[in-house]
Amino acid sequence: AQTVTQSQPEMSVQEAETVTLSCTYDTSESDYYLFWYKQPPSRQMILVIRQEAYKQQNATENRFSVNFQKAAKSFSLKISDSQLGDAAMYFCAYRSRAQGGSEKLVFGKGTKLTVNP
Amino acid sequence: DAGVIQSPRHEVTEMGQEVTLRCKPISGHNSLFWYRQTMMRGLELLIYFNNNVPIDDSGMPEDRFSAKMPNASFSTLKIQPSEPRDSAVYFCASSTPGRGNQPQHFGDGTRLSIL
């Protein structure tokens, strides 16, 4: 079974600074997807960024980028120029791409990010 | 475009009562997922459907929980009888099916409190 670990229960960053959230995962599969979701206090689950395991290039979405290290099974999220609206819980998630594999998302326990003005 | 619609947004009921949570997926999305979020266990899949057929129900905790998808635009998650330990936020999500990187789109969740 796949597992996702987020070792930082809480992180804080100054507005306009950069912060990196860590995520590691365990799987025996070679083909999968990784995602970061954001959950603000409003409770919505918002997709931030996604990465295909077969792609070596790290995904980027505006101020959000990932550092995907497949051999190390690591998938960290970097937020540049942090804004007050970035304050939220961030969840790392895994999904199989294997033929016949489950489409379910396996989530980490989350990291609560505080942005200080 | 309308997103995933869940109802009710909040539900407070007494132990032993039947609870029904409802979900309308995004039109054209053929995969539907029910997740539960608690402080202790985080976000966990309960069950998911492809084309209205249950594919993986390994996360359904026990026989008190049941889920149905009678058509492509509606699903229910029922708990009968409810217990205080069922208190959680229940999310419904939908996506287009297949092996692509299509993301799951989540509803706003139902916060369930069992007294």
B89 touches A: beta carbon within 8 Å = yes
pLDDT at residue A103, rounded to an integer: 85
Q: What is the CA radius of gyration of chain B?
A: 13
- From B60's Cα to the closest Cα of chain A, the distance in A is 13
| Residues A14, A45, B80: CA angle, nearest 5 degrees | 135
Q: Residues B15-62: pLDDT tens digits?
A: 999 999 999 999 999 999 999 999 999 999 999 999 999 999 999 988
**Do A84 and A117 touch, CB atoms closer than 8 A?**
yes
B36 DSSP β-pair partners: B44, B90
The share of chain B scoring above pLDDT 90, in percent, equals 87
Per-residue pLDDT tens listing for chain A (117 residues):
899 999 999 999 999 999 999 999 999 998 899 999 999 999 999 999 999 998 889 999 999 999 999 999 999 999 999 999 999 999 999 998 877 777 889 999 999 999 999
Q: Measured between CB atoms, which of B101, B104, B111 is closest to A105?
A: B104
**Do A1 and A9 touch, CB atoms closer than 8 A?**
no
Q: How confident is the model at residue B98 (pLDDT cuts 50, 70, 90)?
A: low
